[in-house]
């Protein structure tokens, strides 16, 4: 079980594309969010360690507070009409952190998966893991499978939890799979390629938010972010509140998205 979405029974996996984006011909239409609300928001949740330091607490207390912020932000974005949210919870590079921190984050993941299922069902949130499952213990994989299964019929916002996720690794895995399947090079289009990514079930992110003041992409959704709008904030992830989220959404709504064209896109 390498790619977790491979084990998820998604109803349909059309490759979603924004209107006007290259390669949209013949693809199913996506549901446009009303006004200029992004359909898909992706967040690099940075600043847990600094939050803990500010409070004079150990780093893990910052991650715990970071986890607590997730349902709050999911609910908020769902209320604002966002249809997909991807959160970067643990990168392939995060394994190199001190083992106590890694173990602590994994324990938090386990705890969260067990604790939040009812909340997500109550709020009609569908949870999907994106990333590798190979390095996770059997117990955690079962917990991941369980939450995916138990939220599979929810029709509200889709929450993609990127755990052991790396953009370069995802691209390499897609290339390997296409080669293994013997797909002819001429048949490898953007759509064919996108279907091999963990995110084949959702449109590309319209808006990527990074908290914690850094200005890096950190191996996050490298292929999918080709035309994403970026929003950076110095606010640390555990402190992200409705005001700052609304500021990001308002900022996004003012952007002119041209997808490489000279005429602004009028869609979502």
- CB under 6 A: which stretch of 23-31, 76-84, 89-97, 246-254 binds ligand FPP? 89-97
Residue 229: count of CB within 10 angstroms of its CB: 18
Strand residues in 92-227 grouped as ranges (E)? 126-130, 158-165, 207-210
Q: Which CB sits closer to ligand FPP, 67 or 249?
A: 67
d(CA 110, CA 93): 20
141 touching ligand FPP, by CB under 6 A: no
- What is the 8-class DSSP label of residue 238? G
Catalytic-residue membership of 261? no
- Give, in order, the Cα–Cα distances in Å from 219 to each of 17, 198, 255: 21, 14, 24
- What is the 8-class DSSP label of residue 93? G
Q: Which residue is nearest to ligand FPP (CB)?
A: 49
CB of residue 130 to ligand FPP, shortest distance in Å? 12
Q: Which CB sits closer to ligand FPP, 174 or 235?
A: 235
Residue of 8, 163, 157 whose CA lies nearest to 85: 157
Contact, 73 vs 43, CB < 8 A?
yes
Q: Which CB sits closer to ligand FPP, 33 or 92?
A: 92
Q: Interface mask (CB under 6 A) for ligand FPP, residues 101-120, using x and -?
A: ----x--xx--x--------
- CB under 6 A: which stretch of 16-24, 87-95, 147-155, 239-247 binds ligand FPP? 87-95
Residue 66: count of CB within 10 angstroms of its CB: 27
Catalytic residue among 46, 164, 204, 206: 46
Catalytic-residue membership of 46? yes
Residue 141: count of CB within 10 angstroms of its CB: 16
CB of residue 169 to ligand FPP, shortest distance in Å? 17
CB of residue 141 to ligand FPP, shortest distance in Å? 15
48 touching ligand FPP, by CB under 6 A: yes
Q: Based on DSSP, count helices (H) and strands (E) in the chain, helices before strands.
A: 7, 6
166 touching ligand FPP, by CB under 6 A: no
SS3 91: strand
Query: How many residues line the site for ligand FPP (CB under 6 A)?
Result: 18
Residue 28: count of CB within 10 angstroms of its CB: 10
Retrieve residue 167's tokens: 């953009």
Q: Interface mask (CB under 6 A) for ligand FPP, residues 201-220, using x and -?
A: -----------x--------
- CB under 6 A: which stretch of 18-26, 43-51, 72-80, 132-140 binds ligand FPP? 43-51
Q: Are strands 126-130 and 158-165 parallel, antiparallel or unpaired?
A: parallel
131 touching ligand FPP, by CB under 6 A: no
Which residues form the interface with ligand FPP (CB under 6 A)? 45-50, 63, 66-67, 89-90, 94, 105, 108-109, 112, 161, 212
Catalytic residues: 46, 94
């Amino acid at each position: 079980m390498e790619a977790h979405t491979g084990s998820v029974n998604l109803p349909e996996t059309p490759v979603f594309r924004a209107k006007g984006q290259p390669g949209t011909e013949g693809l199913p239409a996506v549901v446009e969010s009303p006004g200029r609300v992004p359909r898909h928001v992706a967040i690099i949740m940075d600043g847990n360690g600094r939050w803990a330091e500010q409070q004079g607490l150990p780093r893990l207390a910052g991650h715990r507070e970071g986890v607590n912020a997730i349902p709050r932000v999911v609910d908020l974005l769902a209320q604002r009409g966002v249809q997909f949210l991807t959160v970067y919870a643990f990168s392939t590079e995060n394994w190199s952190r001190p083992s106590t921190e890694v173990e602590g984050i994994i324990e938090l993941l386990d705890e969260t998966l067990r604790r939040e299922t009812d909340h997500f069902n109550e709020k009609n949130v569908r949870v999907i893991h994106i990333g590798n499952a190979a390095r996770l213990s059997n117990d955690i994989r079962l917990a991941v499978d369980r939450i995916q299964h138990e939220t599979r019929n929810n029709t509200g916002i889709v929450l993609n939890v990127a755990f052991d996720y790396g953009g370069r690794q995802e691209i390499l895995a897609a290339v390997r799979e296409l080669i293994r399947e013997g797909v002819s090079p001429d048949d490898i289009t953007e759509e064919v390629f996108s279907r091999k990514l963990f995110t084949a079930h959702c449109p590309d992110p319209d808006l990527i938010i990074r908290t914690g003041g850094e200005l890096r992409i950190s191996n996050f959704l490298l292929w999918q972010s080709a035309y994403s709008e970026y929003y950076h904030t110095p606010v640390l992830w555990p402190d992200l509140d409705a005001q700052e989220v609304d500021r990001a959404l308002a900022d996004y709504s003012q952007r002119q998205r041209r997808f490489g064209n000279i005429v602004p896109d009028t869609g979502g």
